[in-house]
Amino acid sequence: MTSQAISAPDSSPPAAGYELQPGRTLDERFFITQTISRSGMATIFKATDLLRNDQVALKVPFMQFESDLGFYSRFLREEQIGLSLDHPCLLKFIPVEERSRPYIVTEYLEGETLAQRLKKASPMPENEALSLCGRICEALAHMHERGVVHRDLKPQNVMLCSDGSIRVLDFGIAKSTGRRFTFVGFTPAIGTPEYMAPEQVKGRRGDARTDVYTLGAMLYEMVVGTIPFADGEHEDVFAAMNARVTGDPKAPRRQNRGLSEQVEEIILHAMERDPGKRYPSALAMKEELDQPGSVELTGRCRRLQAPSPWKRHWKNALLIGLALSGVAAGLVKLVLLILRRGP
């Protein structure tokens, strides 16, 4: 779920036709006190749960998306996945049996995202970065044991709470066993280009090692101060995706001379292009994060390959593929609507 209560309230006016706003009560239970943030598809509010007498966060989609079958399916799955998980480092979802419209209720958190922290102070101290990634590994291991792959891990989806705890957020495109992509309208949601694993770029299902790659990319950013493959071309989404498929990031210690060889080894182990060469699990990665002094140096930093130049015709092919995927998703939605309505 998108991050909650992590920045100043959004003072912009409500979206057109969108009736919920601070001062109103939803389903005679949730008194809305504040608008936290607004994305292109939903608003997140701070509210008082009158039944539990507690502060919560509400994620409420805009009305125009409520009738979109693809969006509704993704929204419903996000809640189902959230309710199935129970770990102190994962956002807690609150069940609601009856509701008048789609929305998700979660715990309300005070603090800032890792992305906000990195904007203020980057790179992070090595020990702090290792400790934080170790706790993220614990959250991922809990998810993976239950057959859930996050698929969109990034600094914006990690909450650093005021009480010192952390939460992994946003299960909007998390994958349970057996599902491949989620379509929202005509847009296939497969991840965030700056942190995607190579197999995601190729359109493959991915597994626990996909999240391991992404965490490696996050650790790279935390201790180096820039995202992997940040040479200017990352501003082009397709070039960023091409880089992950055809090459390796620059050696972290070339970017930060004060970084230890052991941490560089951990990052490059997690970011191997071939999933079979990565840590087999989040817990295996955590073992080395917790004891970096015991990490075996294998010389990965000397075997890195620069990404191949971006070919324009591949960009055109990818654009066509994405467009066809969107059309196919639209046809599926149309058929489902016809079947629902009947003769």
Say yes or no: domain 25-107 is CATH 3.30.200.20: yes
* Distance from chain centroid for Cα 246: 23
CATH 3.30.200.20 domain residues, the chain: 25-107
What pLDDT does residue 334 have? 55
The confidence band for 342, taking pLDDT boundaries of 50, 70 and 90, is low
Determine how many CB atoms are found less than 10 A away from the CB of residue 225. Answer: 15
Class of domain 111-316: mainly alpha
Residue with tokens 């197999």: 199
Which sequence positions are flagged as catalytic? 152
| Per-residue model confidence as pLDDT tens digits over 130-173 | 999 999 999 999 999 999 999 899 999 999 999 999 999 988 77
Say if residues 29 and 12 touch (Cβ distance below 8 Å).
no
* Residue ranges matching CATH 1.10.510.10 in the chain: 111-316
Tokens of 203: 């359109």
What would the two tokens of residue 316 be? 């055109």
| Token representation of residue 262 | 């052991």
Tell me if 56 sits within 8 A of 106, measured CB to CB. yes
- What are the residues whose beta carbons fall under 8 Å from the beta carbon of 257, sequence distance 6 or more? none
Q: How confident is the model at residue 177 (pLDDT cuts 50, 70, 90)?
A: low
* Percent of the chain scoring above 70 in pLDDT: 77
Range in 95-99, 218-222, 271-275 with the lowest mean pLDDT: 95-99
What pLDDT, on a 0 to 100 scale, did the predictor assign at position 338? 55
